[in-house]
Amino acid sequence: MKNNLYDIRVGFGYDVHRLVDGRKLILGGVDIPYHLGLLGHSDADVLLHAISDAILGAVGQGDIGRHFPDSDPAYKGISSLLLLEKVMETVTVQAWKINNIDSTIVAQRPKLSPFVPEMIKNISHALDIPTERVNIKATTTEGLGFAGRGEGIAAYSVVTVARSQA
C-alpha cells in the first residue's frame, strides 16, 4: 500500500484600518450598518485582507500589497471579496487546498456577532470551501488601544493549506 505524505503549511495574516466618516463599514464582504467605515484604497475590509495575507503567506506568495498594490488605480474601491477570489486562483494553480481558516476581528463597536454567519458564507463561497472550514470570532479590547477608542478595526487570521505529495 502506498503511503501518501501531505505538505501542510500555515499562514498568518494581520490588517488594520482607520475608522472614518463617509465610508461604508464592510467586514467579511458584509455591509454593516454603522456611522463610520474603514479607510483604504479598496473597500478596506480588514478581515478579508488578513485572510488573503494568511493564504498568500501559507503558499509562499508574499502579501496582498504585492499582488494588488494601492498604487494601482484598478483596485480603487474594489471589493475585497473579488481580491480573495483572485488569491484563491493563485492557491489553485499551485495545487494547494485550504484546510481551515480561523480569524479574529478586533473592534470595540459595532457589535459584530450578528453578522458572522453571513461573513462565513461569503468567505466559503469566495474560496469554494465548506462553511465548516471557516471560523470567525469578534472581540473588543475592553476600551484599550486604538480599537478600544474606536479609532480603527484590526483582524488576525491563521490559515492552513495542504497538498498531497506522492
Per residue in 133-161, pLDDT (tens digit) is 999 999 999 999 999 999 999 999 999 99
Segment 7-28 shows an average pLDDT of 97
Q: Write the Ramachandran bin of 117: left for phi over 0, alpha for psi from -120 to 50, otherwise beta.
A: alpha
pLDDT per residue over 120-129, tens digit each?
A: 999 999 999 9
Cell triple for 33: 450598518
- What is the reported pLDDT for 163? 87
pLDDT per residue over 55-103, tens digit each?
A: 999 999 999 989 998 888 888 889 999 999 999 998 999 899 999 999 9
pLDDT per residue over 26-41, tens digit each?
A: 999 999 999 999 999 9
> When comparing pLDDT for 7 and 21, which is higher?
21
Q: What are the residue boundaries of the structural domains of the chain, listed by start?
A: 5-165
Closest CA relative to residue 117, chosen from 132, 128, 127 = 132
CATH topology of domain 5-165: 60s Ribosomal Protein L30; Chain: A; (3.30.1330)
Q: How far apart are CA 161 and CA 54, in angstroms?
A: 10
